[in-house]
Amino acid sequence: MIFKVCEQEELRRLFDILAADNTVVGPVQTGLDRNGSALNAFKPVADYTNLNLGYTTTKLSAKSYFLPFRESLASFQIDGNDWQKTVDYHCDRPIVFFGLHACDINALNKLDKVLMGNTYPMPYYAAKRKNMFIIGIDCQPQPFCFCRSMGSDTVLHGFDLFITDIGNRYFIEIQSATAYNILARIKTRPPEEVDHLQYMAIAAHKNKQFTSRVDTTDLTKILDMEFQSPVWKQWGDKCLGCGTCANVCPTCYCYGVEETVDIGLRSAQKVKTLYSCNIVDFAEVAGGHNFRSERHTRLKYRYYHKHRGFVEAYEESLCVGCGRCGEACLAGITVPEVIASVRGEES
Amino acid sequence: MTAPHHGRQLRKNDLAKFEHTYKAEIASVSQLTAMERLYRIQIIDPEERRLFSFKPGQFVMLELPGIGEAPFGISSSPSSRDDIELCIRTAGNLTAWLARATRGMRVGIRGPFGTSFPMETMHGQNILLIAGGLGLAPLRSPIAYVQEHRNRFHQVEILYGTRDPSQLLFTFQYDLWRRDEIGLGIIVDKPDPAWKGPVGLITRLLEPIIAGKDEAFIQNTSAIVCGPPIMFKSVCAMLNEAGIPMQKMFVSLERRMHCGMGKCCRCNVGSTYTCLSGPVFDFWSVMNLKEAI
Ligand SMILES: Cc1cc2nc3c(=O)[nH]c(=O)nc-3n(C[C@H](O)[C@H](O)[C@H](O)COP(=O)(O)OP(=O)(O)OC[C@H]3O[C@@H](n4cnc5c(N)ncnc54)[C@H](O)[C@@H]3O)c2cc1C
Ligand code: SF4
Ligand code: SF4
Ligand code: FES
């Protein structure tokens, strides 16, 4: 690993270099919530001063840039009885992400395992993922963050640069050759012992800030044992089946496919739309049979997929502990509370 | 800026598989019952046709551009390389369109996908092929395999249960199966006046087949069971009771599917992808899948 240190003003120069001929997406303050705290979103940014690098979290993850809500898979030109299929992976330009937190980069790494691994890598995702330049930035744990429990509070790969504010200067971790060469265009210096000490002090301080936790010990087994537990029904009774949790989640990737034909019957579209396993017809098949007709079975399934099935397949959970789903849920359903209740640790 | 390469290295070939559709033509349609038709489908490009091969139990995604795409089990012999046959019940939007389809219509085929019945490992054994309703459609492929390699198997029995005689599928095939020394028992739930066969549930046919069989027979028997969950559950319970190991009973699960490639998650059972790890599972695996049955 190669580290550098730069003055704060140099980050603006780095931004300008990258923004000169790339789309840069970063955290931007979009308003205030009821309590007067900043609301943030990932948006294309042209001016460094619009970036809010000290952001706490965003309501929505950055996934619309690599898993758009609606995306065309293919189009057809229809000519009488015959047709031609055209597939477009929609990767026109690289995207620079300026200021992703560790959890969101870890989310990408998890998505890579499903969407770029196994027998059928997904070209629509891969095309965008391989065309990203990612600058990570350190963060302050919020009351709803439990990334540390999920092992996602630090990130080991899947980005180009990671920047930590160590007080009037930035500590930079370099992960790619591209990043190394771009950094050569701003003023940096090798870190000194005092920078290392400051970095470690900041990391140690951050670790003490977490208030939200999930106990993942033996969780795959406990979930199996408690498959019939009445707590699922209790959460299910609260759940509205709205799918908001999946919508805001950086690792939810499930989708549905629909085809539509244009009025003139000359062309047709095959479109993928992100879906949520909490929505009623997620597992309904022809003839009307629904494998998960009850809300609690769907809510339970979401937890099983993230905290059991994915762990079995990849030895890690499909949840990075960003807490977005709990913050967004109108019914107040949060991962730490659900897991605690399944473990019989109800408060 | 040259962007770095995140994630693992991917081959172009692998990526191109994702939306690869074989253009195919409906070569013939035959009506089997009021709701089911048998479609013979031929890939148009001779080279692609040569490369396409499948195993009994696998399925394809059949696409009508602009209408939709859905999974269907292949219902023909894996050795007839010229075309595939799909037995399709009218159940919704896409299948209603297919019901109006005629010869010459061009469709898309993706696949084949999923796991298959392990026919080779069943060589030298007795085989019970047990179907409920439309479950006979995917069984026709392993049955064809057995016919073509009849001397590699011992006793082979097809047990087929359906609601009423008007729903019997593949009636033109029954004599051919029997000619190949494959036992065929048929039972209906609601007989019509002309029906002379047994009446009741499929388990009634199964009882005499496994009753009083010695340990050697039981230990050397595999079963392929296809039908609605309630049916394969009771059948597999009965086979288990008789002593047939659960790893030697195979069932095919039906789930909603939108990709066939382990991406859309619609087919997940618990957290297993039916399209990748299934649709064919041994019964022991099914027992271990939460919410499978
Ligand atoms: C592995 C497998 C093999 C199958 N084999 C056969 C077969 O041999 N013969 C046969 O008649 N049917 C079979 N089916 C069921 C068949 O896929 C459905 O009947 C078909 O999807 C109905 O589509 P539709 O558009 O007419 O119905 P709609 O109800 O209008 O369905 C809309 C969409 O939902 C999805 N969908 C609905 N039902 C199912 C379902 N049961 N399974 C998966 N996706 C579904 C599809 O994407 C479909 O396009 C099989 C299903 C699976 C999973
Ligand atoms: S858990 Fe909350 S956000 Fe998710 S579907 Fe239920 S009510 Fe909606
Ligand atoms: S499940 Fe909730 S906490 Fe976990 S990654 Fe998704 S949104 Fe974040
Ligand atoms: S059908 Fe899409 S994941 Fe199985």
What is the predicted pLDDT for the residue at A207? Answer: 92
Supply the pLDDT for residue A27.
97
The protein residue with its alpha carbon nearest to ligand 3, atom 8, reads A322
Alpha helices in chain B (DSSP H): 12-16, 46-51, 93-99, 136-148, 174-179, 202-210, 215-219, 229-242, 274-277, 283-288
Structure confidence at residue B179 (pLDDT): 94
Question: Above 80 in pLDDT, residue B13?
Answer: no
CA–CA–CA angle A179, A182, A184 (5° rounding): 110
Whether residue A260 sits in one domain with residue A149: no
Q: Does B208 touch chain A (CB under 8 A)?
A: no
Q: Does the C-beta of B260 come closer than 6 Å to ligand 4?
A: yes
- β-partners of residue A43 are A26
Which sequence spans correspond to the domains of chain B?
Answer: 12-113, 119-287
Cβ atoms of A18 and A133 within 8 Å: the answer is yes
Q: How many helices, marked H, and strands, marked E, lie in chain B? A: 10, 14
Ligand 3, atom 4: closest residue by C-alpha: A319
pLDDT value, residue A296: 82
> What is the B267 CA–ligand 4 centroid distance (Å)?
5
Compute the nearest-CA separation of A179 from chain B (Å): 8
Q: pLDDT at position B81, please?
A: 85
- Among chain B residues, the shortest Cα distance to A300 is held by B270
**Predicted local confidence at residue B141, as pLDDT:** 97
Q: Let me know whether A234 and A192 are in one domain.
A: no
Q: Which atom of ligand 3 is found nearest the CA of A323?
A: 3
Give yes or no: residues A147 and A223 share one domain: no
CA distance B35 to A145: 54
Q: For ligand 3, is residue A323 a contact (CB within 6 Å)?
A: yes
Quick one: A200 and A223 in the same domain?
A: no
Q: Same domain for A202 and A227?
A: no
Range scoring the smallest mean pLDDT among A249-258, A282-291, B88-97, B108-117: A282-291
- Please answer yes or no on whether B263 and A120 come within 8 Å at the CB atom: yes
Tell me B33's DSSP state. S
Contacts of B14 in chain A (CB under 8 A): 120-121
Q: Which of residues 261-290 of B touch A (CB under 8 A)?
A: 261-266, 268-272, 276, 290
How does pLDDT run across A180-205, given as a tens digit for each residue?
A: 999 999 999 999 999 999 999 999 99
Give me A120's structure tokens. 């059928």
Domain end (from A183, A207, A231): A207
Distance of alpha carbon B250 from alpha carbon B241, whole angstroms: 16
CATH architecture of B119-287: 3-Layer(aba) Sandwich (3.40)
Residue in chain B lying closest to A253 (CA) = B264
Question: Tokens at residue A155, please?
Answer: 């990130």
Write down the CATH superfamily of domain B12-113: Translation factors (2.40.30.10)
Minimal-distance CA residue of chain B relative to A117: B8
| Burial status of residue B293 (CB atoms within 10 A of its CB: 0-12, 13-18, 19 or more) | middle
Interface test with A, best of B5, B6, B26, B67 (most A CBs within 10 A): B6
Residue A267 lies in a domain: yes
**First-to-final CA distance of chain A:** 44
Q: Residue B293: CB within 6 Å of ligand 4?
A: no
Q: Are residues A287 and A182 in the same domain?
A: no
Termini Cα distance of chain B: 53
Q: How many CB atoms lie within 10 A of CB A234?
A: 14
pLDDT at B289: 79
Ligand 3 atom having least distance to the Cα of A146:
3
Between residues 104 and 133 of chain B, which touch chain A (CB distance below 8 Å)? Answer: 104-106, 108
Kindly state whether residue A135 falls inside one of the protein's structural domains.
yes
Separation of alpha carbons A161 and A170, rounded Å: 11
**Residue pLDDT, tens place only, B186-195:** 999 999 999 9
A272 and A201 within one domain: no
Position B2 confidence tier, pLDDT thresholds 50, 70, 90: very low
A77 inside domain: no
Residue A335 Cβ contacting ligand 3 at under 6 Å: yes
For the CA of A305, the nearest ligand: 3
A164 and A28: one domain? yes
What is the ipTM score, two decimals?
0.86
Cβ separation B276–A119 shorter than 8 A: yes
Nearest CA in chain B to A258: B68
Comparing CB atoms, the residue among B2, B259, B266 nearest residue A283 is B266
Q: Are residues A7 and A45 in the same domain?
A: yes
Residues of chain A with pLDDT under 70: 92, 346-347
With an 8 Å Cβ cutoff, are A81 and B106 in contact?
Answer: yes
Question: What pLDDT is recorded for position B64?
Answer: 93
Count of domains for chain A: 2
Ligand nearest to the CA of A248: 3
Find out whether the peptide bond into B4 is cis, omega within 30 degrees of 0: no
**Alpha-carbon distance A209 to A202, whole Å?**
11
* Nearest CA-CA distance, residue B292 and chain A, Å: 9
CB contact under 8 A, A119 and B262: yes
Q: Do A178 and B4 touch (CB under 8 A)?
A: yes
- The two three-digit tokens of residue A40, written as one number: 């943030």
Q: Are A194 and A262 in the same domain?
A: no
Residue A64 to residues B15, B89, B140, B275, Cα–Cα distance (Å):
21, 38, 45, 26
Ligand at shortest distance from the CA of A245? 2
For residue B213, the model assigns a pLDDT of 85
User: Are B258 and A179 a contacting pair at CB < 8 A?
Assistant: no
Q: Which ligand 4 atom minimizes the distance to the CA of B256?
A: 1
Q: With beta carbons under 8 A apart, name residues in chain B contacting A179.
A: 4
Long-range CB pairs of B11-14 (<8 Å, 24+ gap) are B14/A120, B14/A121
Residues A180, A272 within the same domain: no
Please check whether residues A199 and A244 belong to one and the same domain. no
Domain encompassing residue A335: 219-342
